[in-house]
Structure formats: C-alpha cells, structure tokens
Structure 1
Amino acid sequence: MPLPTLPLSLRSGPLAAYGLYLVGSALMAANPVIGRAVAHVVPPIGMAFWRWLVAFLIVLPFALPGLLAHRHRLRRQWRHYLLLGVLGQGISGAIVYYGLERTSATNASLIYATSPAMILALAAVWLGDAIRPRQVIGLLLAMAGVLAILTRGDVEALLHLSFNVGDLLVLAGAVSWAVYTILLRQSGTPLPVVTAFAANAFAGVLVLAPFYAWETIAVRPVPVSASTILSIVAVALFASVLALLTYQKTIAMMGAARASTALYVSPLWAALASWLLLAEPLQGFHLIGVLLVLPGVMLATLPARKPAAVAAAETA
C-alpha cells in the first residue's frame, strides 16, 4: 500500500516555505551550540577536521559526478581552493572552536551573525561595490552590537581594550568567512552547489590535516566515545550538509532576499538552545547585542525594494 503524500499546496506553499525557513535557521545554530557543549572534550582542530571530513563523505556520492565533470578546472585552481580551505574551514572552523572554549555559544552566534555586513563592507572596499546610506547605518549598528558583546556592556572595557579572547577569536572567524565569501565571488562561473561544497570541504580537510596531526601528538587526541562521535556527526550533518541544502531549498521557494534573513534568526535559536541545554545565562548585553546586530545586518544586506512599475514590468 503506497504511503500517503501531502497535497502539493502544503509541500510548496507559504507554510512549507516558512517551515523550511525556521528549520534552516535552527540548523545553522547547531554549530556554536554543539561546539560549545564539547569545547573542553574535543580539541578544536580535531573537531574542525572531522566535521569537514564527515561532511565531505556524506555528500560525496551526490557530488562525485560533478567533481569528475569539473576535475580539470579543480586541478587548475587547486591553490585557490586551498586558500578557501584555510579561510572557510581553517580560520572560520578551527579558530572559532578555539573561541568557543573561552566564550559562550550565544556570544559566538551573535558575533558571527555580523559576517553578512562584513561581506558588504569588504565588497565595497575590495570590489568597488556601491553602498547606500541605509547600508552604512546598518553596518554601524551591527558593529556597535559587536562592541556591546565584546565589552559585555561595560564602557570601561572599551577604554582599556580589555576583551574576552574567545570573542575576538570568533570575530576573526567571522572576518575570515567574509573574505572567503568574497573570494568565492571571484571564482568565475560558479560550480554546482553540491560540487562546490564537496571541493571546499575536501580542501579544508587537506589544510587541517597537518595541524590535526600536530594537535593529536603534541596536545591531545580526539577521544573515541559515543558522545564524541555523535557530536561530530551532528555538526557535520546538521550544521554543514543539511543547513546548506535547506538554505538552498528555501532560496528556491521564497527568493534569496527573504531566505537570507535566516542568518539573522539563527542567533535567536542559538541563544534559546544555549539557555535550555547549556544553562548559559541571558544577560543585558545580549539583549543590547540582539537589538543592534540583527536590525543592523538586515539594514545593511536586504536589497532595496524595486519601484512598483519596475517590478510589474519584470513579471509581465
């Protein structure tokens, strides 16, 4: 007997789109929450190495045809992909896990949420992209929110340049992700999504491998236990593979502009999960950060509304 299927309206309508939107934003929050939960059990480079290796192996069956079809291009651009591995999986991966040893998942997710605004600023300086007054205001608000988090709402900390090292490491990861994204824009004709994901993940594994070997020998190995394996698989599957696929599907269902706001909802999920699962207290400076960072990033990155006449002409 065949299984019943949902009506097409439920599978492709607004309800399905916004349901996927919420699921995707929650999946994005899994990385800082799980990373913080195992920060003092799984060493940071080991966490990053195994996260991306497992993610690569998960997508390999689906990405293999594309990897073979584009193998000559990938071989020609191997230096470029190794650089992407350094930025996207090394600094934005392992360095952030170092940060999560020293700061909360809530702080990390709010700081990392500013990366879209940083991408906008870098694109303006690096690529000469035009930037509007509304976007400048958004950038200033987002950076003010980051300062509120870095200083824990204490102006004295800003005057004495006294910041939490973990927060600064996460900030470095967010900047690295912004540079990574700009370099992806300069890669020429984009590869298929799954192919690019697999290539970048494998490049990250190659970059992390020697550092992982050093960490295993000189610092401490990744402990082999059921909880460790589950944590690594969860980050690889939920925060990497499923988060990407859900995000891509949301873009297809509701457009890039609205789908991208999932990046701003993710810190709220992270804060809630950290409070419930990790017993992290929600403090006043977190509220200030939310009220500055999220509206600031939205102002900076949401596209301008098209005039009604233009929109009507495009859909005619």
Structure 2
Amino acid sequence: MSLFSAKAAAALYASMAVFFWGVSFVSAKVVLVKLDPLTLIVFRFGIGAAFLLLIVLLTGERLRFSIKYFPHLFILAILGTFCHQLLQTTSLIFIDASSAGWLISITPVFTVILSMLFLHEKINFRKAVGIIIAIAGVFMVTSAGTENRLELGMNFGFFLMLMSTLNWAVYTVLLKSLRIPLPPTVLTFYITLIGFIVSTPFLIRNNGLGGIPALSANEWGHLIFLGVFVSGTGYWFWAKSLEVLQASQAGVLIYLEPIVTFAAAIVILHEKAMLMSVAGGLIIIAGVAAVNKNFINPFTFPLFRSRK
C-alpha cells in the first residue's frame, strides 16, 4: 500500500470513529426513553468490554499487566467510565442531544486549565483569550431556548454535562501523568471492564433489567451501536488511524464531532436548530481551536476521548 493510500485509509478510520462518537449522544437519547441511565451504561460497558476483548484477542496484544497498576486502572475506570457516563447520560434526560454535543467540545479547555494548575503547564495570551471565547459560547448554548422549555430541568442538565466535561478533563490529566504501560486497546478494555463490574451492583439494586423487555428493535439497535461502535470500534479505529497519521492530523477531525451530533439530532430526533445554540457551539469550537494551537487536540490518544 502506498503512503497516500495508507493515509487515506487512516483518515477514514479516524473519520468513522468521530462519526460514531458524534452519533452516540443521539443513540443514548433514544434508549433513555425506556432505560434509566445506570441500566444503559451497564449494558454499554458490558457490550463494549466484550467487543474490545475480541479485538485484543484477534490482534494478539498482551493482556498481562503488573498488579501495581491496578489501583491506577481502578481510579481511571471510576472517573472515565462510571462517573463520566453517569453524569453525561443523566444530563441527556434534560437537554437536547445537539446541546450536549456543543458543550462536550469545551472539554479541552478544562484540560488546559487543570494542566496549568497541576502539571505546571504555562498559559499564554492566546490560550487565555481562547478560554474566554469558549466560555462565552457555553453561555450562549445554555441560554438558547430556555423560554420554551422547563428551565430548572434544563439548567440541571447543562450543569451535569459541564460536570462530565470537567470530570473527563481530570481523567485526562491523570491518564497523562500515570503513564500505564499498556497498548491503547488493552487499556481501554480494562477500564471499560472495571466500569462494567463497578456499575453492575447498582443495576441489580435498582432492578434495571425490568426495562429491557420493553425495548423495541430500533432501541436495541441504538444500544448495540453504543456498545460495539461507540465504546469498542471507535477507540479501535482511532488507535489504528494514529499508527499512520500524526496526532495533529487526526486531532483536527475531532472538531467535526459536534457537527455530526447536531446533524444526527435533527435527522433522528427531529430536534429544532436554534440559531443561538448553533452560534454558541461554533464559538466554543473557535475558542477551543485558539486554546489548542494549530487545531491540535489534547485528546489525540484514544483514551483521552469523551464519549463516551
């Protein structure tokens, strides 16, 4: 395969991963009609872990790791799967999928702030201006259409989504500092598996299985999509793309994710396109782009992604 063909294939892998992650908010919104957030994330983690294990076995990557890294994996799983998905999924009960897609874009800004506070990374004028711009965009998104919807519930949903982005930023900083010596797909598998094990007791306590028989074929399709394609294939494809593309080249595609979410929300959920929300979302992306010089996204390592 020529270098051009290899890069084209890698770009396709990265684009498909971004597409899966963008649609994930819409799929979660569909399934939440019948399932509570905990039941949804348990099934998503279970399906995702099983699929990732299959990928690891097929690719022949090693599963063994030193037991001294288990506490690190456990902390990352609590933050990156259980807490993150519980906050994000619960927020989707109250806010539109498109709004969630715009807000998740601000995660890199939180990451830069935390890196400055705890990893002693410097902030310059460009980053400061980008942060201010992104925050202004957040205010626009969260204020769009409040007069037509239940404002208290919306505000709670926006709060949960912003907390999920902050939580993911904390997770990112920890992941960067812990440096667990495992291949990306294996690391993703263990974090997803631990998230599944930790969340399962809550499913049993809440009798979450009661809603499963009520799922339609369409809702089952979205649930399987979340497990196989969002939690499994997306990370796998992203890792494959980074074998060929530079981190900055793949990172540019991340900025398309909220656009995918926005389009999918209109097509699948028939959400209305509010000018204020769209403008705010684009301003968030502009601010994040200013924070991340040359559109280099801090989530170019596959586990740095939301999502997820």
Cα distance change, pair 41–267 in 1 and its aligned pair in 2 (3 A): same
Corresponding residue for residue 299 of structure 2: none
- 2:6 pairs with 6, 9, 12, which one? 12
- The reply to whether residue 69 of structure 1 matches residue 59 of structure 2 is no
Deviation at 1:28, TM superposition (A): 1.3
Query: Quick one: distance in 2 between partners of 1:27 and 1:304?
Result: 21
Match of 1:116 in 2: 108
Q: Which residue of 1 aligns with 2:270?
A: 279
Q: Contact between 1:36 and 1:100, CA under 8 Å: does it hold in 2?
A: yes
Q: Show the counterpart of 2:300.
A: none
Alignment partners' CA distance in 1, 2:129 and 2:43: 40
Q: CA deviation at 1:162?
A: 9.2
| 1:99 Cα offset (Å) | 0.8
The amino acid of 1:112's aligned partner reads I
Equivalent in the alignment of 1:222: 212
Corresponding residue number in structure 1 for 2:238: 247
Question: How far apart in 2 are the matches of 1:21 and 1:27?
Answer: 10
Task: Tell me what 2:198 maps to.
Answer: 207
Instruction: Kindly provide the CA deviation profile for residues 16-64 of structure 1, in whole angstroms up to 9, marking residues without a partner as x.
Output: 4443343232111121010112222121111111111111111113436
Shift of 1:144: 1.3
Query: Matches of 2:258 and 2:96 in 1, distance apart?
Result: 12
Q: Corresponding residue for 2:22?
A: 29
Quick one: which of 53, 63, 69 aligns to 1:60?
A: 53
Q: Which runs of 5+ in 2 are unaligned?
A: 297-308
Check 1:223–1:298 CA distance in 2 against 1; reply closer, same or farther (3 A cut). Answer: farther
CA distance in 2, matches of 1:190, 1:268: 34
Q: Secondary structure at the match of 2:94?
A: coil
For the pair 1:88 / 2:80, whether they are aligned, the reply is yes
Higher mean alpha-carbon deviation, 145-154 vs 134-143, is at 145-154
Deviation string 1:184-218 (CA, Å, 9 cap, x unpaired) is 1121343111110111101111221222222226x
- The residue identity in structure 1 corresponding to 2:36 is P
TM-score by length of 1: 0.83
Task: Report the aligned-residue RMSD.
Answer: 2.6
Instruction: Say whether residues 1:196 and 2:191 are aligned partners.
Output: no
SS at match of 1:238: helix
Please name the residue that 2:302 is paired with.
Answer: none
Q: Secondary structure at the match of 2:243?
A: helix
Alignment coverage as a number of residue pairs: 290
Q: Which of 119, 128, 147 is residue 127 of structure 1 equivalent to? A: 119
1:31-50 to structure 2, matched below 5 A, reads 31-50=24-43
CA distance in 1, matches of 2:142, 2:205: 31
**1:145/1:161 Cα in 2 relative to 1: closer, same or farther (>3 Å)?**
farther
Is residue 144 from structure 1 mapped to residue 136 from structure 2 by the alignment?
A: yes
Letter in 1 for 2:90: Y
Alignment-derived partner of residue 306 in structure 2: none
CA shift, 1:151, in A, is: 1.8
